[in-house]
Structures are given as C-alpha cells and as structure tokens.
Amino acid sequence: MEKHSTDVRARAREAAVAGARGLAVAVLGFAGSVSLFVLAVVSLALVPLGVGVVTTPWVLTGVRSFANARRVVAAQWYGIRIPAVYRPVPADAGPWTRCFGMLGDPATWRDLGWLLFDMTVGFVTALLPGALLLYPLEGFALALGLWRVFTDGTHVGWWYGFVPVSGQSTALLAGALAAVLLAAGYHLSPPLLRLHFRLTRSVLASGQGELAERVRVLTETRRDAVDSSAAELRRIERDLHDGAQARLVAMGMDLGTIEALIDKDPARARELLAQARRSSADALTELRDLVRGIHPPVLAERGLADAIKALALRLPLASEVDAELAGRADAPVESAAYFAVSEVLTNTVKHSGADRVWVDLHHTDGMLRIAVTDNGRGGARIGTGSGLSGIERRLGTFDGVLAVSSPAGGPTMVTMEIPCALS
C-alpha cells in the first residue's frame, strides 16, 4: 500500500513537472518563434536592397541559437537527440559570403520551417500537458458554485468544454468532465511533452538528404582531424625543440666542460654540475607538461570522471561536478571529451565573468553526455572565435555534437554528446 502511494505521488510529480515544462516551452517557444520568423522574413525581403545582406546572418544566427536551445532541452529532459548539422562559415568571411553561405545551407531552411511548426503544431503539443492539468481547476470551481457568477439558472451562461452550464446539475457535469481531464493529464502529460520533442526532431533533423549531408560532415571532420593532428605534431616538435631539447643540449655541453675541469678546477666543475642537475630537472618538468598536454596521466590512470574532477579543482571559481560512468570509453573518446571540457572551462574562466560552474557527466542510451553550465553574462556563440568551433570539430571526428544555449545575461549551457560504449 505504501509503495502504491509512493508511485502515485511520483507519477503526479512527473505529470506536474511535464505540465510546467510544457507551459514554459509553449509560451517562450511561441514568442520566440513568431519574433524570429517575422525578423527572418523581413530581413530576407531586404536582401535585394543590400540591407538584408548585413542583417540576415545575425537573424539566422539567432534562429540557430533558438533551435539549439530546444535541442538542449530535448536532450536534457527526455534524452531525445536532435543533431545540429550546419555548414561552417569562415570566421573572417564578409557579410556577402556569410549571408549567402548560410542561405545555401539546407539546415537554415529546416530551421525556418521549424519556426512555423513551433508556433502552430508545436505550440499546441507543448501546451496540452499543462492545459490538461490546469483546465480542470475551472470545472471544479464551477461545480463548487462559481457557475452562479455566469448564469441566473434560466439560460446557458457559460460553456465548460462541451458542457453548457446553466445550473448546479450541469455544473456538476462540468466537474465530472474536469475529473476526467485531470485523470487524462495525470497519465498523458509526460508522453505528450515527449511527443512534442519527437515531432520537433522530425522537423529539425535532416530528411531525404541526410545521407549526403552525413557524408559531407564526415568528410569535413576527417579533414579537420588531419589538420588538427598535423598542427598538434608541429606544436610538439616546436615545444621539444625550444624547450627540452635546448636544455638537454646545454646540459651536454656543461657535462663536457665539467669533464675538462674536473681535475683543473673542481670548484667550477661542481658549479657546472649543479647547473646541469637543475637543467635536467627543468627538462624533465617540461617533458612531463608536454606529455600531460598530449594525454594527461590522470586521464589514463583514473578515467574521464576523475580527470574532469581534477580539472574542476584547479579552477579559480566554485565548481561542482556530477559524474556517473559505469565504465570507461575508448581512449580517443576520453581524450576528446577531456580536452573539450577543458576548453569550455577555460572559456568560462576567461570570458564568462561567472563565479560558479557546474559539470554534469553521464552515459545513457549509448551516448556520453556532458553539460557545462555557468552563471556568467552569457553571449557565447559557436564560430565567434571563442574556441567553440574547435570543440565542435573535435567532437565531430567521433560523430559527436555540440549545442550552446547562452542568452544575453546568462546562464550559459554547453552540451556535448559523443556516441560511444563503455567497457
């Protein structure tokens, strides 16, 4: 009996949460979709006049951020993954190239079509979970006597659903209908909100050209991976040449001098020997730092969760890490996730103005999900030179995705997903 009452309370709480979330998505989504769609239409209409060439990229960037925010919510609430596949635009591109580059991207038109969907079908499917829980309150109020405010008992003064309320008997019918609606909301609110996000995925995700788009993305990420690997090799070579190698060469020369002076000038030989010892220690430190930059020892020894916790402990702001992994991913996946989180945390410290950051790390349904949230000023965007584009390319090598929700004034949430298995 106690277990049953606990299950009922849990189900009621789940329905209430779904209703509240649905109302928030419906209200904010409708306002955002209508505003952005109107701005997009006006901006596109101004393209022939030249003004739209400048304004359109900004408007479409806002549309993408709005769509990405819905992707984040779908993944966080119901684990529904909606890939964001946008063609990259060079950071130094001019207004003309940026405008027509974005307009030539099929994902742009999917986003605009989704805005239409979100202000109509999406609005209704998001509103229903909350409506099924709130609308019964009116029926109960009518049954308790509120009907007297709307009618004198001789004619219909109010309609509740399909029930014409003209007296106490019809008001009780309205109360019965309200009870049915509340029971429906109790059972249907979570599935209805999940349906909303599944419909959103069907509109936002690529359709017939998905395979061709996938091939294009894989080709680009492979090229980016090759370029990144070449750049990393050049960095390692430069660090070795300018750091450890130079110290080892100097130490070798000191040892040669020591060999010549050991009989003639023992005091000078001892000084050079001490200098050589310091040089060897410095070279060892630089080599350890170099190795740590390639693959941190804590990551190899203790796994991704502990490595990210160690990262957070070194931050100059308050941090909280919630990590639950039942095993370990492949080493390349762990490395990519570690350096992606490291880059996001570095951006947070440098640019966000936050005083607190939260990191959430979980593996569900074959997907490694990482969310980094801060309470800073917001305004982070992919492709604005913040390092997020590099993270997106790094994750794309493993078929991963990056979504950023960062409205002006904050908070900022960066969500990363990498498909992988744990062992």
Q: Is the pLDDT of residue 221 over 60?
A: no
Residue 193: inside a domain: yes
Residue 212: inside a domain: no
Q: Is the pLDDT of residue 148 over 80?
A: no
Distance of alpha carbon 25 from alpha carbon 19, whole angstroms: 10
Which domain CATH number covers 403? 3.30.565.10
Neighbouring residues of 146: CB distance < 8 A, sequence distance ≥ 6: 171
Checking 216-219 for CB contacts under 8 A at 24+ apart, the result is 216/87, 217/85, 217/396, 218/399
Residue 148: inside a domain: yes
- Per the CB < 8 A criterion, the answer to whether 413 and 419 are in contact is no
Asked which of 239, 265, 294 is the last residue of a domain, the reply is: 294
Which of 51-65, 76-90, 158-172 has the highest average model confidence (pLDDT)? 51-65
Residues 257, 168 share a domain:
no
Residue 76: inside a domain: yes
Residues 8, 138 share a domain:
yes
Residue 399: inside a domain: yes
341 lies in which domain range? 302-419
Q: In what side-by-side order are the strands of the sheet with 356-364?
A: 318-324, 356-364, 367-374, 412-419, 401-405
pLDDT of residue 123: 93
Q: Is the pLDDT of residue 111 over 80?
A: yes
Q: How confident is the model at residue 245 (pLDDT cuts 50, 70, 90)?
A: low
pLDDT of residue 27: 92
Peptide bond connecting 411 to the previous residue in cis, omega within 30 degrees of 0: yes
Q: Sign of dihedral through CA atoms 227, 229, 231, 237?
A: negative
Q: How confident is the model at residue 40 (pLDDT cuts 50, 70, 90)?
A: very high
Residues 409, 372 share a domain:
yes
Mean pLDDT calculated for residue range 4-26: 84
Residues in the chain: 423
SS (H, E, C) the chain: CHHHHHHHHHHHHHHHHHHHHHHHHHHHHHHHHHHHHHHHHHHHHCHHHCHHHHHHHHHHHHHHHHHHHHHHHHHHHHCCCCCCCCCCCCCCCCHHHHHHHHHCCHHHHHHHHHHHHHCCHHHHHHHHHHHHHHHHHHHHHHHHHHHHHHCCCCCCCEEECCEEECCHHHHHHHHHHHHHHHHHHHHHHHHHHHHHHHHHHHHHCCCCCHHHHHHHHHHHHHHHHHHHHHHHHHHHHHHHHHHHHHHHHHHHHHHHHHHHHCCCCHHHHHHHHHHHHHHHHHHHHHHHHHHHHHCCHHHHHHCHHHHHHHHHHCCCCEEEEEEECCCCCCHHHHHHHHHHHHHHHHHHHHHHCCCEEEEEEEEECCEEEEEEEECCCCCCCCCCCCCHHHHHHHHHCCCCEEEEECCCCCCEEEEEEEECCCC
Mean pLDDT calculated for residue range 107-124: 92
Asked which of 179, 207, 235 is the last residue of a domain, the reply is: 207
Residues 309, 176 share a domain:
no
Residue 355: inside a domain: yes
Mean pLDDT, the chain, whole residue set: 80
Asked which of 207, 239, 272 is the last residue of a domain, the reply is: 207
Distance of alpha carbon 416 from alpha carbon 403, whole angstroms: 7
Residues 306, 287 share a domain:
no
Q: How confident is the model at residue 255 (pLDDT cuts 50, 70, 90)?
A: confident
**Pairing state of beta strands 356-364 and 401-405?**
unpaired
pLDDT of residue 290: 54
**Pairing state of beta strands 163-165 and 412-419?**
unpaired
Residue 360: inside a domain: yes
Of residues 191 and 240, which shows the higher confidence score? Answer: 191
Residues 105, 123 share a domain:
yes
Residues 196, 160 share a domain:
yes
pLDDT of residue 133: 86
The pTM of this model reads: 0.54
**Pairing state of beta strands 163-165 and 158-160?**
antiparallel
Residues 53, 25 share a domain:
yes
Q: Is the pLDDT of residue 312 over 60?
A: yes
Q: Is the pLDDT of residue 240 over 80?
A: no
CB atoms within 10 A of CB 422: 15
Residues 202, 60 share a domain:
yes
Q: Is the pLDDT of residue 230 over 80?
A: no
pLDDT of residue 117: 93
pLDDT of residue 298: 73
Q: Look at 92-101, 189-198, 257-266, 406-415 and tell me which has the smallest mean pLDDT.
A: 257-266
Of residues 232 and 373, which shows the higher confidence score? Answer: 373
Residue 77: inside a domain: yes
Q: Is the pLDDT of residue 22 over 80?
A: yes
pLDDT of residue 287: 61
Residues 367, 284 share a domain:
no
Mean pLDDT calculated for residue range 17-38: 92
Q: Is the pLDDT of residue 116 over 90?
A: yes
Residues 95, 190 share a domain:
yes
pLDDT (tens digit per residue) in 323-354: 888 888 888 888 888 888 888 888 888 888 88
Q: How confident is the model at residue 153 (pLDDT cuts 50, 70, 90)?
A: low
Counting the structural domains of the chain, the total is 3
Residues 285, 260 share a domain:
yes
